[in-house]
Chains A and B, each alone.
Chain A
Amino acid sequence: GQNIDQPTEMTATEGAIVQINCTYQTSGFNGLFWYQQHAGEAPTFLSYNVLDGLEEKGRFSSFLSRSKGYSYLLLKELQMKDSASYLCAPDYNYGQNFVFGPGTRLSVLP
């Protein structure tokens, strides 16, 4: 497998910042996706990183280090609606067969 590792659960307070980490196997790696999945719903696309560094998209940013096999998703100014699972998905075959990490369940508390 691709040995994708994410924390199982995280808790944060409304208005705070949270960082969700993901590590993966680097062999054959092309890029990395982050998806958001609310309970009972399908996942939705958040970001894709192919180059090293931080990419910012509103309150959400995603970072990638290709050499270290490491990525993180940074969520700022947390809102209650951010309570969801966040899925890391390394791309090993240019999108031919996506494999997702186990997901991190984030709970945002008032």
Chain B
Amino acid sequence: SQTIHQWPATLVQPVGSPLSLECTVEGTSNPNLYWYRQAAGRGLQLLFYSVGIGQISSEVPQNLSASRPQDRQFILSSKKLLLSDSGFYLCAWSVFGRGPESGANVLTFGAGSRLTVL
């Protein structure tokens, strides 16, 4: 079966410090990978998605970046955090397909990383 791991679960960082959140998926090959952010009391905002190694699409301009060094590894980074970067960061994966009958297309989320920037 497939599992998704995301870490760290919580972190508190000062403004201007760097950030690295990591996500790995097990039990599947060539997944689509996603990073979402959810500010307190708000909806999910798609930050990045990737359909393959080295292929990253950015949905919103920001001081964050993403990388996919391996097929099942997705990393979210920042060189200098801003107060507005605080939020709940969620990694997710899916398999490209045409419907959920076989499990394809359904987004499965990691447990999330709660970031507080002070």
Residues of chain A having any CB pair with chain B under 8 Å: 30-31, 33, 35, 40-45, 48, 50, 87, 89, 91, 94-103
Contacts and interface: CB of A to CB of B under 8 A. Distances in A.
Contact of A97 (B49, B97, B100): B49
A41 B107 contact: no
Nearest to A4: B43
Interface string B2-23: 0000000000000000000000
Given A41-B112, A42-B112, A94-B97, A87 B44 contact: yes
Interface string B66-110: 000000000000000000000010101011111110001111111
A105 to B, nearest CB: 9
Interface of B: 32, 34, 36, 42-44, 46, 49, 51, 57, 59, 88, 90, 92, 94-100, 104-112
Contacts of B51: 96
For the complex of A and B, 10 pairs with smallest distance between CB atoms = A42-B109, A95-B105, A102-B43, A100-B44, A48-B100, A103-B43, A45-B106, A95-B94, A97-B49, A42-B112
A31 B105 CA distance: 10
A100 B43 contact: yes
A48 B96 contact: no
Given A42-B112, A43-B44, A94 B107 contact: no
10 contacts: A44-B109, A45-B108, A87-B44, A94-B96, A95-B104, A95-B107, A97-B59, A98-B49, A98-B92, A102-B42
Contact of A43 (B49, B97, B109): B109
A99 B92 CA distance: 12
Contacts of A33: 106-107
A99 B90 contact: no
Instruction: Pick from A35, A42, A43, A44 the residue with the most CB of B within 10 Å.
Output: A42
Given A45-B106, A45-B107, A87-B43, A95 B112 contact: no
